[in-house]
Amino acid sequence: MSLMGRLLHREDLHSLAAPYALDALEPGERRRFEKHLKDCGRCAEEVRALTEDAVRLAWSTAAPPPVAMRDRVLAAVRATPQEPAPGRERVPNLPPHVWGVQPPPQRRRPRPLFVPFATATAAAALVVASLFAVQADRTRNQLDAERAQSREIAHVLAAPDARAVGAEDAQGRSIGAVASASEGQVVVTLSGYGALPKGRVHQLWLMRPRAQPRSLGLFEADTPLVATGLVKSATSLAVTVEPAGGSAQPTSQPVVQLALKSVGFGE
Amino acid sequence: MQADQLLVLVAGGDQRAFEDLYGLVSGPVFGLVRRVVRDPAQSEEVAQEVLLELWRSAPKFDPGRGSALSWILTLAHRRAVDRVRSARAAGEREQREALRAGEPAFDQVAETVEAGLEREWVRRCLDRLTALQRQSVTLAYYDGYTYREVAERLKLPLGTVKTRMRDGLSRLRDCLGGVA
């Protein structure tokens, strides 16, 4: 590009400062402008000023959020690790309690198709995402049921010993759980399993040594399952496909099994 | 405590500080998202995501680059605009219906006292802009249109819209004063 062309190009980019401050650029332009910002002190200064102006427009729109939002956000915060500051190593004691116990890296896969998540982050993210799932069209009863369930999930996440664990298979299907041994509760989310044929359901089982599997309940679509009454001796969770209404004992091989040792069980 | 001080504590993993910060900023965040997204359920979802992102990325906040409130509201605005654009892309017609359904609910949302005063100021100052400056700024900021879309809607050349946006913002600054 000629010098003139480059200057024109710069000038052109520079004129995007106001649209940028108003978030009025398309994604590609936004990226190009942000790249330009890095080595244009004048633009950075101008963008800072224009952004402060734009924020004045924001301040005047303040409105009280729904009351239930606070509990959901605070519960999610308890279960969500922070990102490290740029240019700094991750501080080991920074993440909340949920990340206190990490499952040791496993050399052998517990099941051929399933590997543990690299961090428990993804497992908690699944559960946290379910807290935030807001459907546009809901009846009063659905709304009440959702709120009651959000409260239950928030309760488990808020337990001081709440820990997250999860696993994902090669097809991207995953199971996430946040469990509290002191509360004897676990929130389990399945993701990527798709809809089952009519008349079939996913059933969650608690596995204990030298004992029959105990049903913890049936999954309804993507809704997380909150199970109570978990005993400390529990070693793993298993999910099987069962006829509608569920079975007294599993009638098929588990589609996924999740060890609970890393989250304070299995003693 | 001010948002700037709280955000520093939050960046260190302080959950109590986050609760205080939530008290300060959840109203502005929710109100702004709601103004842009309109649909009540989607607004709630986006506002929650923004507040969780605020917790997650607090360690990345650089006080040298602006105030905490400005950073937080910029984040909220960006997410709201992303949502409203993908909703528009998903279906103009559906979006129009959502807008219609969302509008009365929006009017019923009680505004906070400070927001009421601030709103009066902003309205007064917006009135001092030329019509084209005002439309360029508000179509972009409150309705989430790109400057290209604004130019199309106002039937103006792109360069004119960019200039109107810049002049509009600086006139707002003169009228509102520099301090947020």
Q: Tokens in use for B58?
A: 């607090």
ipTM value of the model?
0.86
- Residues 20-59 in B contacting A (C-alpha not used; CB under 8 Å): 22, 26-32, 34-35, 39, 41-42, 44-45, 47-49, 51-52, 55-59
The pLDDT of residue B103? 43
pLDDT at position A94, please?
A: 29
Q: Which pLDDT score, from 0 to 100, does residue B100 have?
A: 53
Residue from the list B42, B74, B111 with its beta carbon closest to the beta carbon of A55: B74
- Provide the residue-wise pLDDT of chain B in tens; the chain has 180 residues: 789 999 999 999 999 999 999 999 999 999 999 999 998 888 998 999 999 999 999 999 988 778 899 999 999 999 999 999 988 887 765 555 555 554 433 333 444 555 567 778 888 899 999 999 999 999 999 999 999 999 999 999 999 999 999 999 999 998 887 544
Domains located in chain B, CATH noted: 1-109 (1.10.1740.10), 112-180 (1.10.10.10)
Q: Show the low-confidence residues of chain A (pLDDT under 70).
A: 1-11, 87-123, 126, 130-140, 143, 147, 222
Q: Where are the domains of chain A?
A: 3-59, 67-81+92-263
Three-state DSSP class for A267? coil
Half-sphere exposure of A243 (CA within 13 A, CB side): 4
| Residue A106 identity (one-letter amino acid) | Q
Dihedral angle sign, alpha carbons of residues B82, B86, B87, B89: positive
DSSP bridge partners of A256: A239
Which pair of structure tokens corresponds to residue A197?
A: 């044929």
Task: Say what the pLDDT of residue A106 is.
Answer: 35
| Mutation choice for B interface testing from A60, A67, A80, A90 by most B CBs within 10 A | A60
- B138 Cα to chain A: minimum distance (Å): 9
Nearest to B140 among A17, A19, A85 (CB): A19
Residues 6+ apart with CB under 8 A from B83: B36, B37, B42, B46
CA-based nearest residue to A100, from A267, A266, A264, A265: A264
Q: Is B118 on the interface with A (CB under 8 A)?
A: yes
Does A54 contact chain B (CB < 8 Å)? yes
**SS3 of A111, please?**
strand
Is residue B22 within 8 Å of residue B10, measured between CB atoms? no
Q: What is the CATH number of domain A3-59?
A: 1.10.10
Rounded-to-integer distance, Cα B168 and Cα B170, Å: 6
| pTM of the shown model | 0.68
In 3D space, the residue among A86, A52, A31, A92 whose CA is nearest the CA of residue B61 turns out to be A86
- Chain A residues with CB-CB distance to B138 below 8 A: 57
Concatenated DSSP letters of A67-123: HHHHHHHHHHHHT-PPPPPTTSPPPTT-S-GGGSSPPPPPSS-SBTTEEE-SSTHHH
The answer to whether B48 contacts A72, with C-beta atoms less than 8 Å apart, is yes
Looking at residue B67, its pLDDT comes to 87
Show the tokens assigned to A79.
């279960």
Using CA atoms, how far residue A237 sits from A121, A178, A202, A204, B27, in Å, is 19, 12, 13, 7, 41
Q: What is the pLDDT of residues A148-198, one digit of tens each?
A: 777 777 777 777 777 777 777 777 788 888 888 888 888 888 888 878 888
Q: B119 and chain A: CB distance < 8 Å anywhere?
A: yes
Q: What is the pLDDT of residue A22?
A: 96
Please spell the DSSP secondary structure of A188-230, one letter per residue: EEEES--PPPTTEEEEEEEE-TTS--EEEEE--TT--EEE---
Distance CA A155, CA A178 (A): 11
Question: Which of B27, B56, B145 lies closest to A80 in CB terms?
Answer: B56
